[in-house]
Structures are given as structure tokens and as C-alpha cells.
Structure 1
Amino acid sequence: MSTVPAAEPARTVAQATSRSGNFVTAAHSTQGMVSLFTDNGQRYLKFDETFKTDNGPDLMVLLHRQTVPKSYSKENYESLGPLQQVSGTQGYLIPADVNPEDFNSVVIWCRKFNVTLAFRPRYANGYATLSK
């Protein structure tokens, strides 16, 4: 007698990443790729396994309205929270009421010293790839 294996439950598959690119160093050496993707209706930023930046106090991940961030008044950015770690893969949930298309860059910012470590510019057709 043979048995038929039980069917596995359906899995939610993330949409293909359509917007990604490398960080641009500002005040501190930073490398790696950031991608914008959607999974089960929620939007995320993901830093890939090659991500690496310098350590510092009070490092934050932001969506910023300026392509090359210069001003950090509250109306210019949306915080996605503290940087989880200075290297490796990590993800940041974009709140449902925040439209990433309203912002022009992803930024790693030291809030304590008001210093931009690195940023990832967005262009009209999405997050375009930049080479270092």
C-alpha cells in the first residue's frame, strides 16, 4: 500500500526585486546593495550580504526627500529605525502609510553627530544601479 504525501500549504512568494543599487559613500566608507521589495503586501528595504559600514553612535536608516541628503529637518525624511548591524543582510519594514516613491534616497545617518555615512539615490524610474 502506498501513501500520498500531504500537500504543503501555499507559500507567499516575494515579488521580484525591481529596484536595487549600491550605497554611495559620504562621510564613512560604506559598501553593499540596498533593494526595495514587496512581500505579502508589505514593502521592505533589504541590505544584502555585502553591506558594510563603519560603526558609530545612534545610526539610523532613513528614506530622505533629497537625492543627496543635506538637511535633516523632520519634514525631509522618514525614519525606518536604528541600523540593525554594521554588516550583513538586514531588512527594514516601510510603514504602510509611507510611499517610498515620495522619497529620493535611502540614507544611513548618524543622528548624534548629524553625519551622513552613506546614501542610495533614487531616480525617476526607481532605484537605479550605481557602480563604485
Structure 2
Amino acid sequence: MKKLLLGFLFVGLIPTASAQILDAIRGHVQDLRARTEEHQKIEGVILKRGQIDKNAKGQDLIHNSSGEWSLVKVGNQLFLQSSADFRSSPGPDYHIYISSRPAIKDNDEFSSQQIEVGRIKKPNGAAFYLLKTENPEDVSSMLIWCKQFKEYIGSADLLPAR
């Protein structure tokens, strides 16, 4: 009876595991394709900027990023902009988040304080992201997070530009 129960359990897990593997493969293919796209830069007033913290606890050989990010105002809209020097490790499901709090530095710090902006457009180089808020005080930090595997990739505190 135990073998039969284990067999049903194992067979039930195969489709779920296969779907996760296929999603990861699709995500990595999208990531690789996006790395060859042109830089995307928006012109506006830079309100804040910050560097990815390469010494954060969550950074390791597989999960990492570097480069500068800026908060840019164009009319009444705010955008998050990565610079041409931005780089991240390959990943299947990277998303950008903002927070009104200081940048998190590791997986266990992720919480509802992080507000999702969207899937990363360009995992290396310049890209911009329209924010839902028009208030610069709502944006004190940014985060790159792999949603599929719940992994910290990088973060930056955004400080007033000079």
C-alpha cells in the first residue's frame, strides 16, 4: 500500500516539476534574447540615483547584479531607469520592485514593503520602467528579485541626485 501511495504521489509531482522546468527554460531564453536588445533611455530630470550593493548578503556567484539605477521625472510621471553599465546574472523570472524603505539585502528580508514594477526588460544595459506612483517619496530603493525561485539578485538605495 505504501508503494502504491508513493507511486501516485510521485506521478502527481512529475507534471508540476516538468512545468517548473519548462518555465525556467523559457525564462532563460527570454533573458538571453533581451540581453542583445538596444539600450532604452528616457530623458528627464534625475531626482535620485544609487548603485547596486555588490556586497549585499544576498549576492553570490549565481545571483548577482551591478550598476546604477535612477529615479527620473518626465512631466508628472516617474520612471526607474537602469544605466548602460547595469549587469545581472542570467535568470528565468527577474522582476523589478520599489520600496519607500531602505533596500533589502537578502532573501529573508523580502516582504510586502516591496512593490512590483514589472518583469525586467533588459538584464544588462539601459531600460526604463514607468512607475504607478507620482510621488518621489514613495521610492527610496529598488530591488531585482527572481519570482520563480524567490531569490535576491540585487538592490540599491536611491538617494537625492546632486
With structure 1 as the length reference, what TM-score do the two structures score?
0.71
Amino acid at match of 1:36: L
Q: Across the two proteins, how many residue pairs are aligned to each other? A: 112
The answer to whether structure 1 residue 18 and structure 2 residue 18 are counterparts is: no
For residues 108 and 62 of structure 1, what CA distance do their matches in structure 2 show? Answer: 6
- Identify if the C-alpha distance between structure 1 residues 72 and 29 changes in structure 2 by more than 3 Å, giving closer, same or farther: closer
- Alpha-carbon distance, 1:44 to partner: 0.1
Contact 1:44 1:94 in 2 (8 A): yes
Specify which structure has the higher proportion of helix.
2
Amino acid at match of 2:149: F
- Alpha-carbon distance, 1:94 to partner: 0.5
Range with greater deviation from structure 2 (24-33 or 104-113)? 24-33
Quick one: which of 40, 64, 77 aligns to 2:114?
77
Extract structure 1 runs of 4+ deviating beyond 4 A.
none
Amino acid at match of 1:115: E
**Structure whose CA Rg is larger:** 2
For residues 111 and 127 of structure 1, what CA distance do their matches in structure 2 show? Answer: 29
Aligned to 1:48: 83
The answer to whether structure 1 residue 31 and structure 2 residue 66 are counterparts is: yes
- Identity across matched positions, percent: 23
Amino acid at match of 2:109: S
- Identify if the C-alpha distance between structure 1 residues 64 and 85 changes in structure 2 by more than 3 Å, giving closer, same or farther: same
